[in-house]
Amino acid sequence: MENNMPRIITGSAKGKKLLSLEGDATRPTSDRIKGAMFSSIQFDIEGRRVLDLFAGTGQLGLEAMSRGAEGVTFVDSEREAMELVKKNAVSTGFFDKCRYSVSDWRNFIRKAGGRDRYDLIFIDPPYAMECCLDACARLASAGLLANGALVVLESGEERIDTAVLADIGFECLKSTSYGKKTALHVLIYREEGVGA
């Protein structure tokens, strides 16, 4: 576990190591993929309201906080994972700027609809769930996305159909594959493109 320990890459908490769960319950994003992910959005993080929808260890949301995000809402269905997120938020100094929800992602979206709007969303579910497209559609229909919001998807074998995404207001800015198992997509959401 020590060798694979996720860490904050840059910003105010640079180098801070994060706790992770034993076993396969969470799959921390590798430093290589995380580095590519954040280099794609590095000028669009400061002051952003962030949603980390499948928080796991909390590393994506905490990386965003380290780079100047305004605050993060962490969502994970596992209480043990959320306790870990809270510990990592304390160790990086961001605990008070974050919110924590132990919830299935669909229930969170349904209940949060109409209350909050996010500028930057990380969707990095367990690959076997294959729910990235569904999550994008639900976030958009619930009104949780600010106009111009960036959505970062990390997926496994799930096929990300950009035509389907375009129909619900998303434009794909970047798609990259890492080996055979991981794909990274950066999307922008534009409200005016929906239901016109």
3-state secondary structure 33-74: HHHHHHHHHHHHCCCCEEEECCCCCCHHHHHHHHCCCCEEEE
Q: Is residue 15 part of a domain?
A: no
| DSSP letter assigned to residue 178 | E
What is d(CA 163, CA 161) in angstroms, rounded to the nearest whole number?
A: 5
CA–CA dist 33, 30 (Å, integer): 5
Report pTM: 0.93
Read off the CATH number of the domain in which 120 is found. 3.40.50.150
Inside any domain, residue 17: no
Q: Is residue 12 part of a domain?
A: no
- Domain encompassing residue 76: 31-193
Residue 119: inside a domain, yes or no? yes
- 52 residue type, one letter: D
Within-domain flag for 4? no
| Per-residue pLDDT of the chain in tens (196 residues, 90 and over written 9) | 344 688 999 999 999 999 988 765 556 788 888 988 999 999 999 999 999 999 999 999 999 999 999 999 999 999 999 999 999 999 999 999 999 999 999 999 999 998 899 999 999 998 889 999 999 999 999 999 999 999 999 998 888 888 899 999 999 999 998 877 889 999 999 987 554 4
The answer to whether 180 touches 190, Cβ cutoff 8 Å, is no
3-state secondary structure of 126: coil
- Evaluate whether residue 130 is within a structural domain: yes
Distance CA(7)–CA(71), nearest Å, equals: 19
